[in-house]
Amino acid sequence: MTTTLAAPQVRVGKAAVWALGMLAAATGTLESVVTPTLPLLQRELSMSPAQGALLSITMLITGALVTPVAGNLGDRYGGKRVMLRLMTVVATGGLVSSLAPNLPVLLLGQVLEGAMVGAMPLSFILVRKHLPTGESQVAIGVVSGLFVGGGMLGTLIAGPVAEGLSRHWMFAIPTIAIVVATVLVHRLMPNDPPARSDARIDWPGLALLSGVLLTLMFVLALAPSAGSQPLVLLALLVLLALLVTGWTVVERRSPSPMVDLNLLAKPAIWSSYVITFAVCVGTSVAMYLVPQLLAVSADGYGFGASSTDIGRYLLPGAVTAAISGPLGGIAARRFGSSAVVATGIGVMTATLVALAFLHGEVWHLIVAKALIALASGVCITAMVVKTATSVDHGNTGTATSLVLVTRVIGFAAGAQVSGAFLTAGTQPGMDDPAESAFVTGFVIAGAVTALSLLVVRTLNKGVKT
């Protein structure tokens, strides 16, 4: 039987919250250094394009698997205790990546680094336990925003550091920052006692949930090429259905389930996952299509932008994404999460549909990308806040970690759908897809985002007061 202990009444100061924010920024930086330097890594490590693709998604897969486990263990044994151990794994991964002489060692480092995504629900556990509701909402926004800001910083500095010093230092510098931030969290953040008295781990549930997420990622990866290998995709879908069924049966029978299915049945919880998925699909489509549109030859409907130009054009969107976290937390505290989410979805939908008809000038894409990044970040932060405050303290990590996993799945699904549209819209012998492929992508992304408005009302049903 699971017993929930009373939450501690220990208050923390701003320094402790900023230590968590510094850790989020450092992990965000380390997470983002591979993507902009992938051509350099492929050249120096003699990697094929397929190996480069594997390197780019390794951390994503690990993060999807580790995040719900980290959140659940944080609920059971205390957020700080689990975070310190998790950051030891991440720092080890950063060290391995910085010293990697070849691709297999670098892949090992990326697998270990992927555990960093699990730090987010652990941070939410700590701020919710040690701060009043209003302050914890703002703190969640600050931590989320600094993680995004760290990703922006990593994207900007990875290339210059790798070219000016070496690829080893682009991993080493963020790793050193993670170690320093972890020490500060250890010193400034008080210990939080376990929220549950039981210490058993639901190993069958953990194994099946990992299988579900891993199989789902493979399904999304193969979906665009379903026409060439339909039997493989069908087999994966059958396997996914069997794993979901098995996981559901195991969790219902377990005395201490990895994920409490009664928790997922709450309207405020399942609706937050539906909205998060839809918003992230729309955001991912824009993230994928806008750079592709900028790169299309200027002889047609595109702009022939170089990689440097594209990076400069996307910078305003990165800035708005970084400030969206704190803004979302403040707005959720003042106006309520449901109002913030509905407004963000409205802005995103209008912008995506407008992009389908207004993309003839570079500034159209710059402004649209910035608005989508801002609205999406505000929505996701408000969803995390809503989810965290809709459950008791003993389920904060589990509930918020599933929001983050849903976010990863939504981004992966949006990217695959976008790739499929552009592939289908490219005629044989042509380098660029037809303009209609972009129009279709933006319209469908807007429609998916708009449909999530249908469940916004359910966010306030069954909320724990």
Q: Is the pLDDT of residue 88 over 50?
A: yes
Verify that 150 and 276 share a domain, yes or no: no
Verify that 223 and 302 share a domain, yes or no: no
Give burial (CB, 10 Å; 0-12/13-18/19+) of 149.
buried
Verify that 48 and 148 share a domain, yes or no: yes
Of 213, 228, 258, the position where a domain reaches its end is: 258
Verify that 405 and 273 share a domain, yes or no: yes
Over residues 287-338, the pLDDT tens digits come to 878 888 888 888 778 888 876 677 778 788 888 887 887 788 788 878 888 8
Verify that 264 and 146 share a domain, yes or no: no
The partner residues of 4 in beta bridges, in order of sequence, read 196
Verify that 168 and 58 share a domain, yes or no: yes
pLDDT, position 345: 93
Q: What is the DSSP string of 246-273?
A: HHHHHHHH-SS-SS-HHHHTSHHHHHHH
Taking residue 165's Cβ as centre, other Cβ atoms within 10 Å add up to 12
Q: Is residue 1 part of a domain?
A: no
Write b or e for each residue in 83-109: b if 16 or more Cβ atoms lie within 10 A of its Cβ, otherwise e.
bbebbebbbbbbbbbbebeebeebbbb
Residue found under tokens 């069954």: 462
Of 93-102, 209-218, 273-282, the range with the lowest mean pLDDT is 209-218
Of 258, 277, 304, the position where a domain reaches its end is: 258
Verify that 367 and 456 share a domain, yes or no: yes
Verify that 247 and 157 share a domain, yes or no: no
CATH number at residue 265: 1.20.1250.20
Verify that 433 and 300 share a domain, yes or no: yes
Print the domain residue range for 356. 260-460
pLDDT, position 364: 93
Verify that 362 and 232 share a domain, yes or no: no
Of 258, 273, 304, the position where a domain reaches its end is: 258
Confidence label for 194 from pLDDT (cuts 50, 70 and 90): low
Structure tokens at 416: 């695959």
Verify that 300 and 207 share a domain, yes or no: no
Write b or e for each residue in 306-324: b if 16 or more Cβ atoms lie within 10 A of its Cβ, otherwise e.
eeeebbebbbbbbbbbbbb
Give burial (CB, 10 Å; 0-12/13-18/19+) of 289.
buried
Verify that 177 and 303 share a domain, yes or no: no
User: In terms of Cα–Cα distance, which of 62, 121, 112 is closest to 87?
Assistant: 112
Q: Is the pLDDT of residue 137 over 90?
A: no
Higher per-residue pLDDT: 97 or 17:
97
Over residues 379-393, the pLDDT tens digits come to 888 888 888 777 776
